[in-house]
Structure formats: structure tokens, C-alpha cells
Amino acid sequence: MSEILFLTGPSGVGKSTLIKKEINRQQVSVGGFFVERVYTKQGKLSAFELCSANTLDLSFMSQKCHQFIQFDDTGTHWKLEIFSYFGRQLLRQAAQQSPDIILLDEIGGIELMCLDFKGELMSLFKKPVKIIGVFKSEENYLRQKKNSPMTFNVDKEREQIMNEIEKNNGRLLYMNKDNYSTMEEEVKKFMTS
């Protein structure tokens, strides 16, 4: 059975930063993925990019080929096929290589529209691995739905993921700006147990 810990909460409170900082501090082997925001030279958000967790200790340099949401003058563009091939590849590699930690940062949004990706994710929860990540909060999910270029609904898939986490004795902890130090201790304790 896997050990699972997910942080959830409002955007900008430091969930991803906290997890990445602790992974680097513990110097553990890591598999899985994280999502990086890509900005223009003017500081405007231009894309969200799926990145291999193996690159956590490197300076981020956009690969563009793994940008699954892009913003430009014509609107918002989704490339969900990124999850079907690259995302699944990262999950499979993590399962096969058995790193100390599998990072899933973040899940609970449009990636769940890719049923093959969701299937890999669900099977990963059943493996004897240690998983840490960020689960998109309900507030952020509803904002993503509202601002999306097309109608989508992954309510059922989100519930299935949360049920699978619970079934495997995983924890989903709510983080906000007021409980950062408590969450820091929880993440550290999880990483070192």
C-alpha cells in the first residue's frame, strides 16, 4: 500500500514551493511531475508546463513542447495530449524506477479529462510507493472551469481520486497562509517517516 499526502488550498500560499523545498532539503530521489508557470519577459503568464520531477534541482528552462495551457492574444489554448503521452510516461517511469518520493504537483483539474492519464494515476495509488503532491482546491477548480476556453467537468473524476487517496489511508491537508509552519512540519514528518 502506498503512503500518500496531498496539500490543497488557495493559490499562492506556497504548497508547491514547500514540497519542492523539502524534497531538495531531504536530498531524496524523486519521480513524477510538477507544473511550472511560464512568464513573458514582461512578467505576464504565458503558459503552464508539465515538467519531470527529475529536473527539480535544475534551473527551470521552458521546453515549450510540454506546455499544456498557453495564453496569447487569441485566447487560451489547451494541449491535453501532453498528459496522454508525456504525463503518462512520467507516471510509468516513477512507478518502474521506485524513487524515494513520487511528486504529483498538481492534480485535480483538466488533466483528468485524459482518461488514460487518470488510469495511470489511479494505478499508481495502488503501488507500494510514497506519493506527495498538490490537489487542486475546489475554489481553484471552479475558477479553472469558469475561465476555460471550452466546457469541461471532472467533478466525478476528482471525487474518484479523493476516494482512492482515502481508501489508501492517504491524507489531504488544507493549507493557507495561517498554517504554513504546521504544514511544513507535516511535510517534513511525511518525508522522513
Written as tens digits, the pLDDT of the chain (193 aa) is: 579 999 999 999 999 999 999 999 988 899 999 999 999 999 999 999 999 998 765 555 556 679 998 988 898 889 999 999 999 999 999 999 989 999 999 999 999 999 999 999 999 999 999 999 999 999 999 988 887 777 889 999 999 999 999 999 899 999 999 999 999 999 999 999 8
Which residue segments constitute the domains of the chain, with CATH numbers given?
3-34+80-192 (3.40.50)
* In contact, 36 and 68? CB cutoff 8 Å: no
Backbone dihedral angles phi then psi of residue 45, each to the nearest 5 degrees: -60, 125
pTM of the model: 0.92
Cell 493557507 belongs to which residue?
176
Specify the 3-state DSSP secondary structure of 1. Answer: coil
d(CA 138, CA 39): 25
